[in-house]
Amino acid sequence: MSQSHQQPALSKCPGCEEPPAAGDLFCGVCGYDLSAVPARPDDRPTMAITVPPAAPAAGAVRWPAAEETDSSDVPAPVVRPADVPGTDSGGRPLTESDTVSGRGAASPPEPVGAGGPEAAAVQVRHDDRADPGGAEASGDFALAAPDPRAAEHAAAPAAAPAPGAKVCVACRSGRVDPDGYCENCGHAQPRERDHMEQELDAVAAVSDRGLRHHRNEDSFAVSSTALPDGSPAVVAIVCDGVSSASRPDEASAAAASAANEALLESLPRGTHPQTAMHEAIVAASEAVNALAQEPAGAREHDTHRHQNAPACTLVGAIMAGGLLIVGWVGDSRVYWVPEDRTRPTARLTEDDSWAAQMVAAGLMNEAEAYADERAHAITGWLGADAYELEPHTAAFKPDRPGLVVVCTDGLWNYAESAEEMAAAVPADAREQPLRAARTLVGHALDGGGHDNVTVALLPFAVVPQGAGSACDTV
């Protein structure tokens, strides 16, 4: 959905410096919480850089070079003034009793000028060695910015994960906390819902998080059952969480599950498919309303849980008894794509949105309305704060084989008209619906993937009965 919370305007993510999309609450690359915008932690401190001394005056004592540190960065031996001939400020010769040498007992003083003037060159030391071979040749260490995905974390993790615990996919060593973030590098971990696929004999669905959102707030349910006469009935439900509401991902999951269960219960009893669809939407609405009653164990860190009730949109399709039944609340859509692409295509739903209202009222044409920044403001949804639940249902009887496309706006934003959607659907979609669904999701991702993307495809088989429109309302 296009609705989102207000947040500070950022030119780049504080975590990974990638430019965030407008309205994103979390960085789509590293998962950084953009609503808090804490100060970015400083880099790890480097070791002090020693400034080369001025050229020695005539007759001054030349100090020998300190030995290099070993691979564990043990401090170099300290050279004291008494280690070499010289005098103090009063002109008295320096003796061993004047100071305590930093050497061990087995380390005799080095002779003056050991190694020549070149060996006395002051080295610059940093905490990261970028090129061991080059460093040995030049005596320098290259400075590297700390990267949470660098291999150094794998070599020295903060704490070894327990057996069977989730390991970070980025640094491959840190433990993953209950919120899905690495305790070592902070990288957001892929969630189970980031990409989902399901295929049955007569329906397939794919859902993807997209490229800009930190989580997938879409959900779907596909199933099949039998009518009392033994004929098959195929169901597809697709829900889109309202991103400006609290817990939109939970709302979409609850709605899809409740609607699917209601249909699997009512269709085998002989309930007319259109009536069953209406009842399923009501059941989905009740399931989302129940989420507004906050459970006792609600997570304290959920900063949005008190702002407004969980909400989502819903669109569904039933194929049963030669009929195609669609039902919806919100701006997710159903398209009809005939197998013969020379035949007319059709969009079978009307959006509950600001843009649709402007077009219906004759105040704007469709191109103007959907170009407006308010276009995707929805006027109908499932949720406790909905003004009034108005489920839309329609029954169609296609007279030729085709494909039913059930999708969220994450897809149709990149193929809005029926003709554009038909052009995006692969020619073999009826024979391979899962592969076709993946292709459509890829079409949205290639277009920018600015929203979650979900699509379900239902191949509709029917014996041609003569000429006529692609679909007729019953």
Under the phi-then-psi rule, with left for phi > 0, alpha for psi from -120 to 50, and beta for the rest, what region is 448? left
Instruction: Quote the pLDDT of residue 33.
Output: 72
In the three-class reduction of DSSP (H, G, I as helix; E, B as strand; rest coil), residue 269 is classed as helix
DSSP 170-202: TTSSSBBPTTSBBTTT-PBPPPGGGEEEEE-SS
How many angstroms separate the CA atoms of 379 and 353, rounded? 5
Could you tell me which residues come within 8 angstroms of residue 296 by beta carbon, excluding any fewer than 6 positions away? none
Q: Encoding tokens for residue 383? A: 């949720």
- Model confidence at 46, pLDDT cuts 50, 70, 90, reads very low
Q: Which residue has the higher pLDDT, 195 or 72?
A: 195
How many angstroms separate the CA atoms of 171 and 208, rounded? 24
- Model confidence at 176, pLDDT cuts 50, 70, 90, reads confident
Nearest to 249 by CA among 327, 326, 194, 300: 194
Average pLDDT on 248-266 reads 97
What is the rounded end-to-end Cα distance, in angstroms, of the chain? 31
- Model confidence at 259, pLDDT cuts 50, 70, 90, reads very high
Nearest to 196 by CA among 184, 210, 211, 214: 210
Instruction: Pinpoint the alpha helices (H) of 208-346.
Output: 248-266, 273-291
Nearest to 408 by CA among 277, 217, 227, 278: 217
In the three-class reduction of DSSP (H, G, I as helix; E, B as strand; rest coil), residue 326 is classed as strand
Going from the C-alpha of 281 to that of each of 240, 313, 410, the distances in angstroms are 14, 10, 21
How many angstroms separate the CA atoms of 183 and 162, rounded? 13
Average pLDDT on 131-160 reads 46
Instruction: Quote the pLDDT of residue 160.
Output: 64
Average pLDDT on 364-392 reads 89
Residue 34 has pLDDT above 70, yes or no: yes
Q: Which residue has the higher pLDDT, 42 or 269?
A: 269
pLDDT-wise least confident of 103-117, 349-363, 402-416: 103-117
Q: Which residue has the higher pLDDT, 383 or 102?
A: 383
Around Cβ 229, how many Cβ atoms within 10 Å? Answer: 7
Instruction: Quote the pLDDT of residue 36.
Output: 62
Dihedral of alpha carbons 111, 112, 117, 119, sign:
positive
How many angstroms separate the CA atoms of 170 and 368, rounded? 44
Instruction: Quote the pLDDT of residue 87.
Output: 55
Go through 368-402 and write b for each residue having 16 or more CB atoms within 10 A of its CB, e for each that does not.
ebbeeeebbbbbbbbbbebeebebbbbbbebbbeb
- The DSSP letter of residue 136 is H
Q: Is the distance from CB of 193 to CB of 209 less than 8 angstroms? A: yes
- The answer to whether the predicted template modeling score (pTM) of the entire model surpasses 0.95 is no
Residue 279 has pLDDT above 90, yes or no: yes
Q: Is the distance from CB of 402 to CB of 470 less than 8 angstroms? A: yes
Instruction: Quote the pLDDT of residue 6.
Output: 42
Residue 376 has pLDDT above 90, yes or no: no
Average pLDDT on 345-369 reads 91
58-73 pLDDT tens trace: 554 454 454 444 444 4
Average pLDDT on 255-270 reads 97
- The DSSP letter of residue 167 is B
Tokens 């169901």, residue located: 235
DSSP 439-466: HHHHHHHHTT--S-EEEEEEEE-----S
456-470 pLDDT tens trace: 999 998 754 544 444
Q: Is the distance from CB of 182 to CB of 168 less than 8 angstroms? A: yes
Instruction: Quote the pLDDT of residue 447.
Output: 95
Residue 350 has pLDDT above 80, yes or no: yes
Distance of CA 285 to the CA centre of its chain: 27
Residue 193 has pLDDT above 80, yes or no: yes
How many angstroms separate the CA atoms of 338 and 422, rounded? 9
pLDDT-wise least confident of 33-37, 154-158, 191-195: 154-158
- Model confidence at 302, pLDDT cuts 50, 70, 90, reads low
Q: Is the distance from CB of 290 to CB of 247 less than 8 angstroms? A: no
The amino acid present at 272, given as its one-letter code, is H
Residue 146 has pLDDT above 80, yes or no: no
Tokens 């400020």, residue located: 89
- Model confidence at 348, pLDDT cuts 50, 70, 90, reads very high
| pLDDT-above-90 percentage for the chain | 46
Helices 273-291 and 248-266 pack at an angle, to 10 degrees, of: 150
Q: Which residue has the higher pLDDT, 104 or 96?
A: 96
Instruction: Quote the pLDDT of residue 88.
Output: 56
